[in-house]
Amino acid sequence: MFGRKKPTLKQLGDQALLDLVYQVKDKWQMAQKTQDNVRGLDDQLEMESKIQQAKFEFLFRQARQRKVAGEAVSKEAATRNTFR
């Protein structure tokens, strides 16, 4: 109560961005699994996977620009080696 700092708008925004990154990554992985499990590759399934991948990559770049530290962002940065 006393002496406790309130979270700033940037901290709240960063946390919301990080939550969104996690959600989109889960959706992308689910779309990939669905695409792998379906025998006849449907164009709609392929497009859904690509859309989710594009969303994740956009949010990933935004998180990197804002220097948001998170498990998903850190792991993806390590696999991509995009520190520049």
Say if 6 falls within a structural domain.
no
Return d(Cα 50, Cα 56) in angstroms, integer: 10
* Residue 72 banded pLDDT, cuts 50, 70, 90: low
Domain span including residue 76 = 12-80
Say if 5 falls within a structural domain.
no
Residue 68 pLDDT > 70: yes
Say if 7 falls within a structural domain.
no
Q: Using CB atoms within 10 Å of the CB of residue 60, give its burial: 0 to 12 exposed, 13 to 18 middle, 19+ buried.
A: buried
Higher per-residue confidence, 12 vs 76: 12
Q: Does the predicted TM-score (pTM) go above 0.75?
A: no
Return d(Cα 27, Cα 22) in angstroms, integer: 9
Contacts for 64-69 with beta carbons within 8 Å, 24 or more apart? 66/14, 66/17, 68/14, 68/17, 68/18
Structural domain count, the chain? 1
Taking residues 46-55, what's their average pLDDT?
90
Say if 35 falls within a structural domain.
yes
